[in-house]
Amino acid sequence: MADSERTTTPLNGGFFVARSEIMDADGVRRALWRMSHEILEQNKGIRDIVLVGLETGGVHLARKLAINLLEIEGEEIPVGTLDVAFYRDDIGIRPVVPGNPTDLPFDLTSRVVVLVDDVLFTGRTIRAAMDAIVDFGRPAAVQLAVMIDRGHRELPIRPDYVGKNLPTRRDELVDVQEGGVWLGHLESEES
């Protein structure tokens, strides 16, 4: 399948059609480098930091950030994944099908948890993620890193580390991959 016709989650019952390229692979790589340095600067090092990638879009970004941090600081930091499906506020309103099972094989208590996601939109996923995180322990702080902040927040949530601010229309969709970021829309399967 062409890059421009990447499928999105089956939940939406359609496929993504890209209209314009927002970032290329180098852009994504540079943004991740800058965010890695910002995380270090903000937290004065990597002590007590854990990265938690949100299923499914945030997972590869969290892994990449961890590789960068290892390269900069020479120390490995724990990376986990979190699926927030069971904490969403739209269960029973629309089908909510989980991605991959959560994998958080370390204690979060007194750690600084950096949640990593691809796109920040309404903020509802992050709300669900914060609820999920406290079930695993009491972190010293929770921070948020996203590749794209596309606006339209419905909750009082703001990111700490942003790859790019991207003004969008509500009906548009943003697709974040290692190879680049595309803005487009969802085409239903029937048409």
Partner 1 sequence: MKSKHIRGVNDLGKDGIQEILSLSDHFFEVSTRRIPKVPALRGRTIAWLFYENSTRTRLSFETAAKRLSADSMNFSVSSSSVKKGESLRDTVETVSAMGVDAIVVRHSSTGVPWLLPKWTDASIINAGDGAHEHPTQSLLDCYTIQKQLGGIEGKKIVIVGDIKHSRVARSNILAFKAMGAEIVLVAPRTLLPVDTSTWPVEISENLDESISDADVIYMLRMQLERQKEAFVPSLREYTNDFGLTLERAQKLPKHTIIMHPGPMNRGVEIASEVPELGNAVVTNQVSNGVIVRMAVLYFLLGSGAELSEDGNDNE
Contact set with partner 1 (CB under 8 A): 83, 85-87, 91-92, 94-98, 101-103, 131-132, 135-137
Assess contact for 15 and 186: CB atoms under 8 A. yes
Give whichever of 88 and 150 is closer to partner 1, judged by the CB atom.
88
CB of 62 to partner 1, least distance (A): 18
Question: Which of 73, 103 has the CB closer to partner 1?
Answer: 103
The rounded distance, in Å, linking the Cα atoms of 174 and 84 is 20
Helices (H), ranges, the chain? 25-43, 59-73, 124-134
Least CB distance to partner 1 at residue 64 (A): 24
User: Which residue, 52 or 69, is less far from partner 1 as judged by CB?
Assistant: 52
Nearest approach, Cβ of residue 165 and partner 1 (Å): 32
Order of strands, sheet of 141-149, starting from the edge strand that comes earlier in the sequence: 79-82, 49-54, 112-120, 141-149, 161-165
Minimum CB–partner distance for residue 39 and partner 1 (Å): 26
